[in-house]
Amino acid sequence: MGIQYRITRDYGKRANEAVNELVHHLIITIVIIAIMLIFFLGYKESAIVTFTVPAILAVTLFIAYLSGQTINRITLFAFLLSLGLLVDAAIIVIENIHRHLHSHGECEDMDAIVVKATDEIGAPTNIATLAIILTMVPMMFVGGMMGAFMKPIPLNVPVALIASLVIAYIFTPYLSKKLLKCEDDGAHHQKQTHKGDA
């Protein structure tokens, strides 16, 4: 008598579909953020913030790998849950840098502008991120099967948020210094005056 088998569950296929869904939502999120920032700040600012999303996810996945976590649906759900929060710090930093670059009558040293703009929003951004992280802490104390099931969320979301802060404070100012330029409003006004006189 021959042996027959039937596949009732394929967790590999379901995991692959979950990963594809994460990538799909990630791309949608990046595109939406990029388009919005192009209209409100500019294409260079948009490019800087867009870079932060995959960088933050890469750091979070690397730390999850070092801690022995596996990629499962709950882990992926934690990433999807934090996607909307990951760019907050970077957007706040780049927006304040953009404001400083366009609000001075005369251009200051670019290093001074970037440091000052980042320092201004440091405390409130840290507190806001800490408040979100604290909302995840109670989930770590849930016991039983539900606690084990939900454990990746309080582990990965805070890591992703901390990574977003680090990248926002390091890479965002650095890329701003490299890609953005200070607009001298006084010089621009003087050029317009000369054109009007001519």
pLDDT tens-digit series, residues 25-61: 777 877 887 788 788 777 888 888 888 878 888 888 8
Residue 5 lies in a domain: no
Tally of domains in the chain: 1
In a domain, 3, yes or no: no
The single-letter code of the amino acid at 144 is G
Phi, psi dihedral angles at 99 (to 5 degrees):
-65, -45
User: Of the candidates 132, 121, 112, 67, which has an alpha carbon nearest to the alpha carbon of residue 91?
Assistant: 121
- pTM (2 d.p.): 0.72
Task: State the Cα–Cα distance between residues 170 and 191, nearest whole angstrom.
Answer: 35
Q: How confident is the model at residue 72 (pLDDT cuts 50, 70, 90)?
A: low
**pLDDT of the residue at 104:** 59
Q: Is residue 137 part of a domain?
A: yes
Residue 1: inside a domain, yes or no? no
Whether residue 166 lies inside any domain: the answer is yes
pLDDT computed for residue 198 by the predictor: 45
Give the per-residue pLDDT at 95: 84
Q: Is residue 6 part of a domain?
A: no
Question: What range does the domain containing 63 cover?
Answer: 11-197
DSSP 151: T
Does 155 fall in a domain?
yes
CATH number of the domain that residue 16 is part of: 1.20.1640.10
Q: Tell me if 2 is assigned to some domain.
A: no
- Token pair of 171 as six digits: 């890479």
Task: Give the whole-angstrom CA distance, residue 189 versus residue 183.
Answer: 11
